[in-house]
Amino acid sequence: MDISVVIPLFNEEDSLQELHDWIKRVMQENGFSYEIIFVDDGSTDGSWEIIKKLKNGSNMVKAIKFRRNYGKSPALHCAFQKAEGDVIITMDADLQDSPDE
């Protein structure tokens, strides 16, 4: 696998579908094999439900859920252990960074 995209998040339900679709488009356009690892860091909104839907719709999506908010470093640590890509890219879930980059 070429790329693992690791996305730690907390209460980002509004951006997850768009972020997933954007990453998928960029990876397909460039011919990369990839996985997206979402780490829900104890969200209290509907983030986990959206992540489960994305995971059920694609074998490229992996999901980790924390029972409470532990912070970004533990979220990254868990995702790095699960990542299978030759390269690991971290992204925020708020669409602040463009997957095109």
The Cα–Cα gap between 72 and 55 comes to 21
Reported as a single tens digit per residue, the pLDDT across 21-31 is 999 999 999 99
Whole-model pTM: value is 0.97
Kindly list the distances between the CA atom of residue 82 and the CA atoms of 21, 51, 58, 96, in Å, as whole numbers in the listed order: 22, 16, 17, 24
Instruction: Output the pLDDT for position 101.
Output: 85
Euclidean distance between CA atoms 81 and 13, whole angstroms: 24
15 pLDDT more than 90? yes
For the stretch 40-67, pLDDT in tens is 999 999 999 999 999 999 999 999 999 9
Of 58, 48, 53, residue with least CA distance to 24: 58
95 vs 2: CA distance, rounded Å: 22
The answer on pLDDT for 13 being more than 90 is yes
